[in-house]
Chain A
């Protein structure tokens, strides 16, 4: 995960506010992914992007939005419509394609106060 950075590491948000989580990579990977991790559960896919200017919804996209204007960056916005946003958010990247292996960033812990 040396080439994937997520910021901030900890984020606090008041109810009703939107907040944007950053994910940047210098691995020249085409594909980028956002996952959510809750205690005692596996990771669930929020959004993913296989190429610049294109992205698809994952299993739990409601209340989230993304953009992919640059290859290196895939920011995730947690909107006020997300009912239970407190979680650990993980960004991953990969070369893309059917043999893609995903590599993870260090994560951002979001807490809603």
Chain B
């Protein structure tokens, strides 16, 4: 069945780069998404990548997609304390309007 896995926790120093990883199982996924959730809030769409792309860059965010290994990563350059949050990876199953979410990676940024 469909499944998305993420590591649960990442701690980085302020100013360093953060890399959050995600693996998925559905080879027919069309789009893959990264969402950010701050405490007590809804999910904020950060970026997404179409399955025929390898990389997408948007300011401090870089998404890398390895479709062969079904691996997605989100790199945050110059990580700030305001980046502390839970980051969710999600895949869209091919031909079906459904998002499959990972359990989320909690990013902690320390001075």
Contact with B along A27-54 (1 / 0, CB 8 A): 0000100000000111111001010000
Q: How many A-B residue pairs have CB under 8 A?
A: 61
The answer to whether A42 and B42 touch (CB under 8 A), given A98-B95, A99-B31, is: no
The answer to whether A42 and B48 touch (CB under 8 A), given A1-B42, A98-B95, A104-B35, is: no
Q: Which A81-113 residues have C-beta < 8 A from chain B?
A: 90, 92, 94, 96-107, 109
The answer to whether A41 and B103 touch (CB under 8 A), given A1-B44, A104-B35, is: yes
Does B97 contact A48, Cβ atoms closer than 8 Å?
yes
Does A58 make an interface contact (CB < 8 A)? yes
CB distance from A91 to the nearest CB of B (A): 8
CB distance from B30 to the nearest CB of A (A): 7
Does B97 contact A98, Cβ atoms closer than 8 Å?
yes
Neighbour of A58 across the interface among B8, B90, B98, CB < 8 A: B98
User: By DSSP majority rule, is chain B's interface helix, strand, loop, or mixed?
Assistant: strand
CB distance from B23 to the nearest CB of A (A): 13
Neighbour of A101 across the interface among B40, B42, B48, CB < 8 A: B48
The answer to whether A40 and B42 touch (CB under 8 A), given A58-B98, A104-B35, is: no
Does B88 contact A106, Cβ atoms closer than 8 Å?
no
Q: How many residues on chain A are close to B (CB under 8 Å)?
A: 29
Most buried by A among B43, B44, B95, B103: B43
Known: A42-B88, A94-B97, A106-B42. 4 other contacts (CB 8 A): A40-B104, A42-B101, A42-B102, A107-B41
* 3 tightest A-B CB contacts, nearest first: A42-B101, A104-B42, A104-B43
> Which A residues are within 8 Å of any B CB, using their own CB?
1, 4, 6, 31, 40-45, 48, 50, 58, 90, 92, 94, 96-107, 109
- 27 example contacts (A-B, Cβ-Cβ < 8 A) are as follows A1-B44, A4-B42, A41-B103, A42-B4, A42-B88, A42-B103, A43-B88, A43-B99, A48-B97, A58-B98, A90-B42, A92-B43, A96-B97, A98-B30, A98-B95, A99-B30, A101-B31, A101-B45, A102-B99, A103-B45, A104-B44, A104-B45, A105-B42, A106-B41, A107-B40, A107-B42, A109-B40
